Amino acid sequence: PSSSSAHGGSKRRMKVAVVGCSHGELDKIYETIQHIEKTDSISIDLLICCGDFQAVRNPDDLACMACPIKYRAMNTFYKYFSGAAKAPVLTLYVAGNHEASNYHMELWHGGWVAPNIYYMGQAGVFNFGGIRIAGISGIYKRNHFRMGHYEKMPLDRDTQRSAYHVRETDVFRLLQVASPIDIFVSHDWPRGIYNHGNTRELLRRKRFLTDEVSSGSLGNPAHEKLLKVLRPRYWFSAHLHVKFPAIIRHENKTITRFLALGKCLPNHDFLQVIDVQPQNNSQAGEGGATAKVLEYDREWLAIMKSTNHLLSTERTYLQMPTPLGNGGRRFDFRPSQEELKQIDSLFSSGRDNLDAYVVPQNFAPTAPVWDEKTDPKSGTPPRFVPNPQTSRLLRKLEVRDVIGEYLYGGELPSGGGRPSAGAGGTTAPAAEEGKQPARVTTEANPEEIDIDDDDDDGDDGDEKNAVNVPLSAPPPAASKPANPEEIEIGDLDDDDDDEEE
């Protein structure tokens, strides 16, 4: 999207496509979207992917993906990174538990992984055309939840996994968000969400979840808290490779419409299109931007700045600020008006600069592209490369890059790093904003959902409400679910939200 289109804008409903686990199948996902657009004579404004995105650029990235070697495949993201293909719709995503975590570590606070494809970071809030979207990456593991982000590169077998475990620091920062959230995106589900939908149907399709549902342990307890506090209009997830809708009615009478989706395979419900009514989320003053451009969120930037000192790289249990026994130190980081004005000043926001918060188109390749003649399984986990997108954002906020300095091992070079050689290749040119990368040659985790979990109980291809996408042929359009107990597309729309909000 062009920043020049930020002026003016429309309040029409946005058509948002949501995908569950992508697993690197970008070609098939975009083919599906284009087929729906052509068949239904509509235009999709935004694509949101709920993790396991697999932004794998080359064999070295693939070597960092936590899954059995036999399941490691380049798939199609590398073509979008190289510029051989371009995403036809703005794509936002959070990370899951099958990712090239080394790439995401460059973009801790979010950034372009390829032109028109944006990673939302470890945790983040962004705006798109009047829609406020928050997200958190990773999955829950109790042992690591209260630790710092201690992982170093090159990643080994253990840190490939701990790198994507949700940390309390990131949850704490999101809990400081006070203004309404329209859409929240996560990979794993909030704990207890199954109590708000058709649990019987869920267990018919996924019998192995029975014990966790019975014990009340299925899902992420940190996400459960975020759901209760933030109360977004929508919450989208993936991870369990099954479609599951639910409606959560909060104590303040607001409603969250939850939808989990499957992965990109035939006979899997992996994609759904919903209509979202933009709210009055303008942050650029009177007449601010409401058009279809991606923007940083003013409140989130203030939270990033005020809580930067809480980021830790220690492999020890951390205590987040509380009102008890804190020695008078700050524990409430909901931004004050003074802090918001400071962000406006840092970003030169005002009535004469309505594009102040527009995310710049500054994709910067920091790694070589896969040479398709090279064995995709020949890579080795690379060392950390600073990304100029991260450097630019944190310099603007006037905060230290705590994570980047730790990963780099000292003071970061100005302007970002230099791409390392791919497997069997040579060093690529230094990263430069807006440039495409040079083309150069280049075991199972029992606690998580298997990447090859495509033999779902009850999924025999006769689902009446499936989005059946043959991966070797043009995909059919998404059909409305025939199951009356499921949330239909119309039920996910905002027909009754204008008065509530």
Q: Are strands 91-93 and 244-249 parallel, antiparallel or unpaired?
A: unpaired
Q: Which residues contact 31 (CB under 8 A, 6 or more apart)?
A: 474, 475
Intervals of the chain under pLDDT 50: 1-10, 284-289, 418-447, 451, 454-501
Q: Which amino acid is at 264?
A: C
**Which token pair is 166?**
């949700």
Q: Are 45 and 16 in contact (CB under 8 A)?
A: yes
Residue range 436-480, pLDDT digits in tens: 444 333 333 444 555 455 444 443 333 323 333 333 333 333 333
User: 19 forms bridges with which residues in the sheet?
Assistant: 49, 271
> Which pLDDT does position 455 carry in this prediction?
40
The confidence score (pLDDT) of residue 428 equals: 36
Query: How would you label 186-223 residue by residue, b for 16+ Cβ within 10 Å and e otherwise?
Result: bbbbbbbbbebbbbebbbebbeebeeebeeeebbbbbb
Residues 6+ apart with CB under 8 A from 188: 96, 139, 140, 219, 220, 223, 237, 239, 240
Structure tokens at 40: 């239904």
- Find tokens 């303040």 and name the residue: 252
Residue 440 is predicted with a pLDDT of 33
Q: How far apart (Å, rounded) are the C-alpha atoms in residues 28 and 34? A: 10
Which residue, 221, 256, 220, is CA-closest to 238? 220
* Ramachandran region, residue 213 (left: φ > 0; alpha: ψ -120 to 50; beta: rest): alpha
**Whole-model pTM?**
0.84
User: Which residues make Cβ contacts (< 8 Å) with residue 297, sequence separation at least 6?
Assistant: 124, 125, 126, 127, 132, 283, 357
**What integer pLDDT is reported at residue 498 of this predicted model?**
35
What type of residue sits at position 97?
Answer: N
Q: At what angle are helices 337-346 and 298-306 packed, to 10 degrees?
A: 100
pLDDT at 290: 60
Half-sphere exposure of 414 (CA within 13 A, CB side): 1
The single-letter code of the amino acid at 92 is L
Longest pairwise C-alpha distance within the chain:
64
